[in-house]
Amino acid sequence: MMIRSVFHEACLSMTGNKLRSFLTTLGIIIGVCAVVMMVAAGQTVQNIIQERFVAMGANLLIIHSQRPKAAVRTSGPMTSITLDDALAMKKLRGMDVVAPVLQTSRQAINGPNNWSVSIIGTTPDYLKTANWEIAAGRGLDDQDIKRGTTNVVIGAEVVSELYPYEDPLGKTIRIGNQPFNIVGVLKEKGSNSGGANQDSSVMMPLLTVQRRFNRYAKLNAVNHIAVKFSETENLNVVERRISRFLRARHKIKDEDPDDFRIFNIAEFVENIRLVGTVLSVLLAAIASISLVVGAIGIVNMMLVSVTERTREIGIRKALGAPNGWIMLQFLFEAVLISMVGGTIGLVLGVGLSQLGGYWYDVRVPFSLWPVVLSFTVALVVGVVSGVFPAYKAMKLDPIEALRYQ
């Protein structure tokens, strides 16, 4: 009965000055909405990056050249990883796919159209390591690789930029002022972890890139080797096996550091998950600043309300209302304003997040913890904001309150 009465009086107080109540509630609405949207944005970015790497498979390793810290710098490239390493690595136990990769960039031209492209010199197995599919035509075959042909497979964006109104299959594309024959088109892939647009790629035989675009071709160097191992193999065991193999091939002494680096996709996905969580918390913390502003608004409104209702408080006390009742009433009003604002802010935040996901064609995850967080924050803000005004109301002297004009 007591709670019902307090609730009823709190509602009457809120509706008594609708504009002031609305403006105070608006601060909480904006704050909670911002927190929910920032958390959703952080989780969405985390999921997008994570999904791209998970699609590659947890059984993927990337091996890069690495210049030892103690090494003397030279004008040439880091050439510790070579094509011979890749060919020899195929014989290791548990290796499903091994693809050497040599990358560079050039300007591609078709008539009046030109576009900067990333050249990927590799083997047919590269598509398996990257989980990349052919949209039209065919991929590179063994004959292309052995003979170093001028056949190429181009990315989706290369098609849209250089062949917007025609089928590129069978057409000639000039790259670095050299003609190449288009035999296939890759499916749209999007950006990689570094932000590079993979759809601006042109894939060609490794030997072709070495002969035509690499001045260090005699060194037989590659940028990296992509390895997919059997899913029945243990990741750590495979890493150690490859590390021992390469150290032996490169004749590295026990006390010397590696001249290569093994990049673990599974480990990277876990790091992304941790970074995404930190990002979500950081964004939510930044958005919470608006909640502080909302809390200040509630304190201000409640202090004004206490001042306006001084005589009312004096009458209640004169009639025997206990101090706890007076304090509870004003505290409940503050909590009610905060909870109403929190509920509306939550609905708006979730709705706008999903609308943004629909607009940008991405899946926005919905989890329970932002809902719990929003209501918890709204409750805490209401209690904290209402304590001081409620305490001030409770401490009013009834005689002085009755004299207040």
Of the pLDDT bands very low, low, confident and very high (cuts 50, 70, 90), residue 66 is: confident
Of 72-86, 281-295, 305-319, 328-342, the range with the highest mean pLDDT is: 328-342
Q: Which helix (H) or strand (E) holds 379?
A: helix 368-394
**Whether pLDDT at 300 is above 90:** no
With 50 as the cut, is the pLDDT of residue 72 above it? no
Q: For 181-201, what is the mean pLDDT? A: 81
Cross-strand bridge partners of residue 101: 224
The pLDDT confidence band at residue 361, using thresholds 50, 70 and 90, is: confident
> In the chain, how many domains are there?
2
pLDDT digits (tens, 9 = 90+) for 82-134: 889 999 998 888 888 999 999 999 999 998 999 999 999 999 999 988 888 99
Look at residues 211, 230, 258 and tell me which one is the last residue of a structural domain: 258
User: How many whole angstroms separate alpha carbon 356 and alpha carbon 351?
Assistant: 9
CB 133, CB 186: distance < 8 Å: yes
Instruction: Provide the pLDDT confidence category of residue 76 given band limits of 50, 70 and 90.
Output: very low
Domain that holds residue 188: 67-258
Q: For residues 81 and 223, give the distance between their C-alpha atoms in angstroms, rounded to a whole number.
A: 7
Pair 10, 86 in one domain: no
Q: Is residue 302 part of a domain?
A: yes
Whether residues 155 and 211 fall in one domain: yes
Strand partners for 134: 186
Instruction: Assess whether 103 and 245 both reside in one domain.
Output: yes
Q: Which of 258, 288, 304 is the last residue of a domain?
A: 258
Per DSSP, the three-state class of 205 is strand
Q: Are residues 274 and 392 in the same domain?
A: yes
**Of all helices (H) and strands (E), which one includes residue 335?**
helix 323-359
230 with 323, same domain?
no
Residue 35 and residue 117 in one domain: no
Q: Assess if residue 265 is contained within a domain.
A: no
**253 and 292 co-located in one domain:** no
Contact 47, 245 (CB under 8 A): no
Residue 157 has pLDDT above 60, yes or no: yes
* 218: in domain: yes
Q: Is pLDDT of 284 > 60?
A: yes
Q: Do 98 and 163 sit in the same domain of this protein?
A: yes
Judgement on whether residues 254 and 303 belong to the same structural domain of the protein: no
Final residue before a domain boundary, out of 189, 223, 258: 258
Between residues 61 and 8, the one the model is more confident about: 61
76 and 216, same domain (yes or no): yes
* Structure confidence at residue 329 as a pLDDT band (50, 70, 90): confident
Q: What CA–CA distance (Å, rounded) separates 369 from 39?
A: 10
> Residue 77 pLDDT > 70, yes or no?
no
Quote the distance between the C-alpha of residue 280 and its chain's center.
Answer: 9
Give the C-alpha separation, 329 to 324, whole Å. 9
**Closest to 117 measured CA to CA, from 210, 182, 214, 200:** 200
Establish if 276 belongs to a structural domain: yes
Assess whether 44 and 93 both reside in one domain. no
Closest CA to 160 of 117, 119, 192: 117
| Contact residues for 67 (Cβ-Cβ < 8 A; gap 6+) | 73, 78, 80, 259
pLDDT above 70 coverage of the chain, percent: 78
Of 16-20, 244-248, 298-302, 363-367, which one has max mean pLDDT?
244-248
Residue 379 corresponds to which tokens in the numbers above? 């409750």
Task: Pick the most confident of 10-24, 154-168, 269-283.
Answer: 154-168
